[in-house]
Amino acid sequence: MKHTITFITIALFISVICRAQDESWYKCLNGTIDKYTITMHLHKTGHTYSGYYFYNSKEEPVYFFGEDTTNKGKINLFAFPKSTEPTDEKFLFEQNGSKFTGEWKKNDSGKAYVFSAVELNDTSLIPFSFVYAHGETKLKPALKESPVATFEAASVWPTNNSSKALFVKKIISDELTQKNVVREPEDIFLEEKNQFSRDYKEGYKDTEDSMMRENPYLFSMDEINRLMIVYQSPKILSLANYSYAYTGGAHGNYGTHYSSLDLENGKKILLDNILTPTAKTKLPLLLEKYFRKNYGVEKNTSLKDAGLFESTIKPNDNFYVTGKGINFCYTPYEIGPYVMGEINIFIPFSELNNYLQPSFKKLVE
């Protein structure tokens, strides 16, 4: 009987895993907003888009999210800069082969500036695909309004086997499985989807149908995971591993774990690899300085009065680097309440130039 239940569970989980160009892809774009040059790391899953873009003069990434269904034939993105302003930046553009053209606005009522970009074809960079898996399972298929569990996972994956690419494959596989074994994302996602489906049905197997009819949302579940590129140069690759889960209650939980890789030497970049011991003692003041700048907190206002749990901000291990700075990420509830969301604090290397480790300086020169 146990084997029969398992078979039914898997059979009812409608799923897709693919690398097809029309379903999922990753593209690195070089372009401009008005006269300012930018780089965009754009990831597609179905009709959904996500990733990061930055102005090349600062290399301070901004997260974005969007879709291509609201405006037919156009990609609509909302970007979320670390800013005191309550509105989000907006991209609206078309894709024509390797070219992308449209507009960018600072907010809904802002002036529209020309956005233009082309897909970067740089042989010094590792080429990537974007592997995507999604599916759903109904808790009680016989019920008209059955609760549903949805699963979605995606990850960048090198498309060649150069020495740098093999190193990145090992890191990505470890990020996805927490095991020191290199596995293809397709295999990992299929295993996770089937386990997710089994756990969902097992967890609610004794729930009365009447309770599900009354409020099916309370018995629905969602799990989303995306591993994306934040920054890439011939020497550094920075990755964002985003996860979201709703298992009941008032809201879901989410967070992003970042990591940066030294492609020249085949290792993860640790804080000690970047900064001297003296610099690390200066980080709390710099984190406070840029938190105040990003959130519009006056000098005479304490960090606790600004909403944080403590009166100081300490560096953590959840950071990434670009060629011009380091970003520390604090997930919801880590240093502030859920309503503040993820708190990202980017510190330019110009603040730390005299305290960078010589070996790290070679990576960002």
Please give the pLDDT value at position 85.
Answer: 57
Distance CA 151, CA 159 (A): 25
Please give the pLDDT value at position 248.
Answer: 75
| Tens of pLDDT, residues 201-252 | 999 888 888 888 888 888 899 999 999 999 999 999 999 999 999 887 778 8
Distance CA 316, CA 327 (A): 10
For β-strands 89-96 and 253-262, DSSP reports them as unpaired
String of DSSP letters for 96-116: ETTEEEEEEESSTTSPEEEEE
Per-position pLDDT tens, the chain of length 365: 333 322 233 333 444 555 445 689 999 999 999 999 999 999 999 999 999 999 999 999 999 999 999 999 999 999 999 765 556 899 999 999 999 999 999 988 889 999 999 999 999 999 999 999 999 999 988 888 899 999 999 999 999 999 999 999 999 999 998 777 889 999 999 999 999 999 999 998 888 888 888 888 888 999 999 999 999 999 999 999 999 998 877 788 999 999 999 999 999 999 999 999 999 899 999 999 999 999 899 999 999 999 999 999 999 999 999 999 999 999 999 999 999 999 999 999 999 999 999 999 999 98
String of DSSP letters for 296-341: T--TTS-TTTTT-SSSS----S-EEE-SSEEEEEE-TTTSS-GGG-
SS3 155: strand
Could you state, in order of their start, the residue ranges of all structural domains in the chain? 1-268, 271-364
Long-range contacts formed by 293-301: CB under 8 A, 24+ apart: 294/82, 294/83, 294/84, 294/344, 294/345, 295/84, 296/84
As a whole number of Å, the end-to-end CA separation of the chain is 63
Pick the CATH number of 271-364 from 3.40.50.300, 1.20.120.430, 3.90.640.20, 2.40.50.180: 3.90.640.20
User: Quick one: fold of 1-268?
Assistant: Heat Shock Protein 90 (3.30.565)
